[in-house]
Structure 1
Amino acid sequence: MVNTLGWPSLRPLQQQAIEPVMAGEHAVMLAPTAGGKTEAATFPILSRMLTEDWNGLSVLYVCPLKALLNNLFPRLESYAQMVGRTAGVWHGDIGRGVRGRMLAEPPDILLTTPESLEVMLISQTIDARAFLGNVRTVVVDEVHAFAGDDRGWHLLSLLERVSHLAGGPVQRIGLSATVGDPGGLLEWLKGSDTGRAGGVINPAADATTDQTEITVDFVGTIDNAATVISRLHRGEKRLVFVDSRARVEELSTALRLLDVATFVSHSSLSADERRYAERAFTEARDCVIVATSTLELGIDVGDLDRVIQIDAPSTVASFLQRIGRTGRRSGTSRNCLFLCTKDAAVLQAAGLLALWEDGWVEPVTPPPAPAHLFAQQLMALSLQEGRVGRQLWREWMGPLPAFAAMDPEPVEEIVEWMVNQAILVDEGGMLSFGIEGEESYGRRHFLDLIAVFTAAPLMTVWHGRRELGSIDPLSLQRRQDGPAVILLGGRPWRVKDVDWPRRLVFVEPSDDMGKSRWNSGGPAISYELAQAMARVLEGHTPGVTWSQRAKSVLAQQRSWHEWASPDGTVVGSDGGRPVWWTFAGTKANLALTEHLDCAGSVNAATELYVPLRPGTTQAGATAAIAELKRSDASDLLPGVSPGAVTGLKFNECLPLPLAMHTLAERLRDDDAVAATLEKALRAIA
């Protein structure tokens, strides 16, 4: 295949992958975006397919995004055809006719998402045993994107069920960019198949790829950011990352008003709108695409010249993914321009770059206590098999760490609760859907069962017969001078009509400025990043290029926090409000706020400090913190209100105390709390 493709040689990752993949070992392969991971996995798999005479659907290639599947499919199809084999793609946008042809004549390689794989397993019109019973290997692309949230636990459960259909464990290969704990990621990916050999394949990076150009600038507003982007790097292709959909729309609209060729990509645009933008961007030269983290993953948007970051991402891993989009052409360097619109963003960017210089990357940590996913899998198995033995579910799910770590009592408690609530019915030890389960998650509503996240109810926006995307209902508030005007796809649209029962919005183009909203909480800031920000305030400056404006903001931040240090905590103030400066990160500060006697509102806690009640004296705060220091960090769980469990998918399948405990477990950071309580405390005027 290498000769057919005209390649002079294999890359180090591809060379090192041959032996373990051919031997059937589990593996996690690490390389930057466009580092040849797909070929490193598929070339030896295709060789095994031929030498071992695999027949039928033998390889699953799982991706987190439909757009990534669409992007990869032509390449994988061509590789398969070179050796006389076939590939197919299956996701929610694939038509019934295409799916029917694949069921009649299964491809050798199937590209899909976890949600579509779940559909294959539970559908009454698909013989899952016949279709998936020959699977030998599963490739999980962007595996780190799965492992850090509940989609990862869902995926592992699906792979256990596929292994059961296939008559034994299947080989698992994860593809990822740089992560902080690749060995831990490999152990997670193995699931119950811990006896099979496996390893991390992570060849040393080429020294030339370490040349980077990083600049931090402060611009103050989104409009100013648009002005800078419009004037810099003209004639080049620029990818701009913005960490909210609303600000993506705001920036892209501002760029178009400055006559910049601008394209937009985020999760609330329709699939057709995203495909149009990404296709047009790959074919254009002097242009900008503005995107959320959806373009952080390995979707090919052509040969980029520049990456621009509005404010700062919350993790080093995200930064590495984004900067890895550049520097692919010979003679070019990886680059990133930070355009900060807030003072705090300059500090966060500096902390992030300090960690990056240290070579530190966040470990991928699967969320603990997925009790709600156990309930989901019980329902899915009941739908798949018609009914499942109350004690035999482990044969399907296997001893997954996610469920094995749960004590037998909570597992049985979940089953009892679901039976008592008529979500399941127990007939002689066999579980099947009950009245309430059928109503909420049965065949009429099975689409709600296959997605493991609860999404806010959105309104679908139409211009004529063209679907534009979706918005939060909050965007539809009327203006004083007339109908609501929204932003979507980087353009303003006037709302003509709203069909509330069907959640449809009909619009027409507008010349007025508008605004769109989506309800979503900001990302949590880790203890390590908060500590790095304290180190920056203490005087450390990452060795990148700083504009005079950014230097001025950083100097001002240091003058306001001249007492800051990662070695201790401080009782002081923020804008006249009493606070405890911990630099402990979002999760730890939520827990400390919950359990500190003189703490103020939990809603006022940040990654840098714990709010104190108005009027709290330094002596009172110092005494209360000293008392808190006597606590065991493991006892200081963040508070969770009963109403908060509505954000946990399948929460109605759990007793309320267990649902609240599950959420609390996911908000805790015992190590950060313990480290904070051990530090010296002082008070400042």
Structure 2
Amino acid sequence: MSADALDLLDPILTHHIVNTLGWRSLRPLQQEAIGPLLSGHDAVLLAPTAGGKTEAAAFPLLTRAQRQGWKGTGILYVTPLKALLNNLHPRLETYTGWVGRTAELWHGDIATSRRRRILTQRPDLLLTTPESLEAMLVSTHVDHRAFFSGLHSVVVDEVHAFAGDDRGWHLLAVLERLQRIAERPVQRIGLSATVGNPAELLDWLQGSGRGKRPGHVIAPGVPLPAVGGRAASAVPPPGDIELDYVGSIANAATVVAALHQGEKRLVFCESRRTVEELGEQLRLRGVTTFLSHASLSADERRRAEQAFAEARDCVIVSTSTLELGIDVGDLDRVIQLNAPATVASFLQRLGRTGRRPGTRRNCLFLAVDDAGFLAAAALLLAWSRGWVEPVTAPPDPRHLVAQQLLALCLQEHRVGENLWAEWWGGLEPFGRAAEPVVQHLVEQGYLDRDGGTLFIGPEAERRFGHRHFMNLTASFTAPPEFTVLSGRKEIGRTDPDLLTEEVEGPRKLLLAGRSWLVTYIDWRRRRCFVEPVDEGGRAKWSGFGQDRVRSHTLTRAAREILLGTDPPVILTRRAQAKLTEARDTHRDVVHPAGTVITRRGDSDIRWWTWGGHRANATLAASLSSVVLPHRIIDDRFIRLRDDVTPQTWRAAVTDAGTGLTLPEVDVRAVRGLKFSEALPQRVAQATLAARLADTEAARALLAEPVRFLARG
């Protein structure tokens, strides 16, 4: 069977697969992908990390390019991270070279001279990000019609990482515009290791081609989930999973330094600040440590990526930047501080290990606080049941409709006022449903209208025109940061709050796992000069938009943990003791027969839904007559008015049953929605409200019995 599959590929590729790579056969995914991809069909390819997905896509596409004589850039390979692009480039450069073709990188770290060469000598395969594609389309230095005229296929690696947020909408809209430029349907291939709803993900990826083009989910040997994200098989993947409670970052560093010496260990943290603090603590204990997060310089991040490939007896501390498909070589251990936000993220991290023959997948959870411990236990319980989050695109991306209209006018200079919708091929909400957004952009001066055409107006120039409209190319908002330099060497970037807040004594920063003394601040150019200092530095970064919140399923799993269900993993003695303590602490706020309303004193009344942030936000808006005004939404409970009674409660629930209300949105919160200023305020608020809601979970919680309890 393998020989038959290899016979379908270009003979030169087959020769190198057998003789250069030394493969005696293709993997099942690679075999099954050949036929559909050679036929030009769309597909989502699913396999565990290191399952050969890149080759499953690349080999058939290079075969098509050879047989059909593709000219110019025929293949785009899109990923969420520059680090992943850097990691993949040598491999894809080798494969394209076998058949006399080329592969090049294009992202923010690529030098101008190299970009000029790419524009004059178009590669057959271009590795890039959606933001870089957008920048190419709107750039006055790129002839986008010439460059993308030969486009036939797009590979979207880690497709689930796009589909779940606004970067996915941005990517889909850009692909539709590229398809119009190429004047042909462009084949779309998504690669993913972890997803709870692959058929829906394929439909999403096809964009305007959904229902018009053949599409396949190819996942040999992977148990496909049933509806709701639950896997067909409840048996968890093999591996050694352990949960420990250590109580602080310093204690976590002590454990990491003592365990598995001589091995390569990758530690995941949920914030840049935690990465920095753990990195410093490990170095103080003499551990060879590398750090990776988005605010470190390219050189610092490359050191961590190089350590992935070459170093031994070291610890690499990272945010999610090293979660996705970067080749980790002979990694021995994965350690997780507290818990990632999703099961899908945990599966990606777990997949970093167990790649060598004779090794097993493993992950040690080190909880540094009580909330992190409960979150980790809940996540492991959900994982053990085979549950994975379904990937769902955020609803109503009207702010990105505004961004796309502005970007299109930059790209084309002038667009017919009756023709703009054709650029997105009927993909909603970028089609005719966007008419009110167009009208608002014209009324507010973001767009001008003249002679039946639309073009960039003065308000767009004022708000987005800085650095050739660079701020218009990304769908996410990056908070302002200061560049930190030691001499001429860039260390990374830090939050300006650390440079402005009052401090006693010298001002010190923590960056790249080291402390630095601030010697000079260049406010105009947003630069900060430092020199090394022994210790005492602080790390801080602020973000815009929603905080990471737990889903309904994971919050309910935490309730199950407190009601007595243990996660089926190894629990240390400290973890067992913390589990007993957590159950004792929460014994009055969980009940197996339903939810609980507690009263502590006269004014602290809480409804313990354990429903998750979005469900609780929906319930709080829908039960406004009994919910405390100006409340802060919590995953676990909702604060109620101090005069609530069982009678007023039942009346409020009855009223809510006739129709739930979307969560209230503070005007200030809309600022975290990029391009919201280009929308009418009510539309921006409605967009954010739809994203904060979980009506299905809210209805389920309203239907549960409620017990009124008094607490001392």
Q: Which moved more, 1:212-221 or 1:429-438?
A: 429-438
Aligned partner of 1:106 in structure 2 is: 122
1:558-583: CA deviation from partner (whole Å, max 9, x where unpaired) = 12333524651110158994211001
CA contact (8 A) 1:433 1:442 kept: no
Q: 1:621 to 1:513 in 2, by over 3 A?
A: farther
Offset at residue 148 of structure 1 (A): 0.8
1:41-67: CA deviation from partner (whole Å, max 9, x where unpaired) = 001111111111111110000111111
Aligned partner of 2:140 in structure 1 is: 124
Identical pairs, percent: 54
Offset at residue 633 of structure 1 (A): 7.8
Could you tell me how far apart the structure 1 residues matched to 2:383 and 2:630 are?
A: 31
CA contact (8 A) 2:236 2:384 kept: no
1:49-107: CA deviation from partner (whole Å, max 9, x where unpaired) = 11111111100001111111111000000001111111111111112221122211211
3-state SS, counterpart of residue 233 of structure 1 = coil
Letter in 1 for 2:215: G
- Equivalent of 1:484 in 507, 525, 530: 507
Offset at residue 398 of structure 1 (A): 1.6
Offset at residue 217 of structure 1 (A): 0.3
Map 1:350-361 → 2, pairs under 5 A: 350-361=377-388
Map 1:20-35 → 2, pairs under 5 A: 20-35=36-51
Map 1:113-192 → 2, pairs under 5 A: 113-192=129-208
Could you tell me how far apart the structure 1 residues matched to 2:459 and 2:62 are?
A: 46
Within the alignment, does 1:569 sit opposite 2:584 as a pair?
no
- Equivalent of 1:537 in 535, 543, 562: 562
Letter in 2 for 1:457: P
Q: 1:469 to 1:562 in 2, by over 3 A?
A: same
Could you tell me how far apart the structure 1 residues matched to 2:462 and 2:186 are?
A: 35
- Equivalent of 1:642 in 637, 648, 667: 667
| TM-score normalised by L of structure 1 | 0.96
3-state SS, counterpart of residue 425 of structure 1 = strand
CA contact (8 A) 1:593 1:602 kept: no
CA contact (8 A) 1:590 1:638 kept: yes
Q: Which moved more, 1:291-300 or 1:1-10?
A: 1-10
Offset at residue 196 of structure 1 (A): 0.7
Aligned partner of 1:422 in structure 2 is: 445
Within the alignment, does 1:362 sit opposite 2:389 as a pair?
yes
Within the alignment, does 1:254 sit opposite 2:297 as a pair?
no
Within the alignment, does 1:661 sit opposite 2:686 as a pair?
yes
3-state SS, counterpart of residue 635 of structure 1 = coil
Offset at residue 234 of structure 1 (A): 0.7
Q: 1:634 to 1:497 in 2, by over 3 A?
A: farther
Aligned partner of 2:472 in structure 1 is: 449
Could you tell me how far apart the structure 2 residues matched to 1:444 and 1:503 are?
A: 15
Offset at residue 301 of structure 1 (A): 3.3
CA contact (8 A) 1:472 1:518 kept: yes
Aligned partner of 2:575 in structure 1 is: 550
- Equivalent of 1:512 in 516, 520, 535: 535
Offset at residue 477 of structure 1 (A): 4.8
CA contact (8 A) 1:629 1:677 kept: no
Structure 2: unaligned runs, 5 residues or longer: 1-12, 224-232
3-state SS, counterpart of residue 73 of structure 2 = coil
Aligned partner of 2:106 in structure 1 is: 90
Aligned partner of 1:201 in structure 2 is: 218
Within the alignment, does 1:70 sit opposite 2:86 as a pair?
yes
Letter in 2 for 1:572: T
- Equivalent of 1:318 in 320, 323, 345: 345
Q: 1:478 to 1:157 in 2, by over 3 A?
A: closer
- Equivalent of 1:525 in 530, 546, 550: 550
Could you tell me how far apart the structure 2 residues matched to 1:441 and 1:386 are?
A: 15
Letter in 1 for 2:407: A
Could you tell me how far apart the structure 2 residues matched to 1:417 and 1:164 are?
A: 26
Offset at residue 634 of structure 1 (A): 5.5
CA contact (8 A) 2:276 2:513 kept: yes
3-state SS, counterpart of residue 172 of structure 2 = helix
CA contact (8 A) 2:514 2:535 kept: no
Aligned partner of 1:264 in structure 2 is: 291
Could you tell me how far apart the structure 2 residues matched to 1:367 and 1:70 are?
A: 29
Could you tell me how far apart the structure 1 residues matched to 2:451 and 2:259 are?
A: 71
Offset at residue 286 of structure 1 (A): 0.7
CA RMSD, 1 decimal: 2.0
Could you tell me how far apart the structure 2 residues matched to 1:427 and 1:304 are?
A: 60
CA contact (8 A) 1:323 1:335 kept: yes
CA contact (8 A) 1:209 1:333 kept: no
Aligned partner of 1:604 in structure 2 is: 632
Aligned partner of 2:34 in structure 1 is: 18
CA contact (8 A) 1:266 1:291 kept: yes
Could you tell me how far apart the structure 2 residues matched to 1:279 and 1:634 are?
A: 55
CA contact (8 A) 1:246 1:517 kept: yes
1:613-640: CA deviation from partner (whole Å, max 9, x where unpaired) = 4xx25x5266236413431485321111
Map 1:242-391 → 2, pairs under 5 A: 242-391=269-418
CA contact (8 A) 1:243 1:293 kept: yes
CA contact (8 A) 2:619 2:660 kept: no
CA contact (8 A) 1:142 1:297 kept: yes
3-state SS, counterpart of residue 401 of structure 1 = coil
1:99-118: CA deviation from partner (whole Å, max 9, x where unpaired) = 12221121111111111111
1:285-318: CA deviation from partner (whole Å, max 9, x where unpaired) = 1110110011111122332100000001111000
3-state SS, counterpart of residue 454 of structure 2 = strand
| TM-score normalised by L of structure 2 | 0.92
Letter in 2 for 1:642: V
1:117-148: CA deviation from partner (whole Å, max 9, x where unpaired) = 11211112221111101100000001111111
Could you tell me how far apart the structure 2 residues matched to 1:84 and 1:588 are?
A: 55
Q: 1:557 to 1:394 in 2, by over 3 A?
A: same
Could you tell me how far apart the structure 2 residues matched to 1:436 and 1:662 are?
A: 22
1:404-431: CA deviation from partner (whole Å, max 9, x where unpaired) = 5xx83xx222112111111100113311
CA contact (8 A) 2:160 2:194 kept: no
Could you tell me how far apart the structure 1 residues matched to 2:60 and 2:145 are?
A: 26
Within the alignment, does 1:627 sit opposite 2:625 as a pair?
no
CA contact (8 A) 1:596 1:624 kept: no
- Equivalent of 2:491 in 468, 471, 476: 468
CA contact (8 A) 2:308 2:331 kept: no
CA contact (8 A) 1:87 1:107 kept: yes
Q: 1:256 to 1:633 in 2, by over 3 A?
A: farther
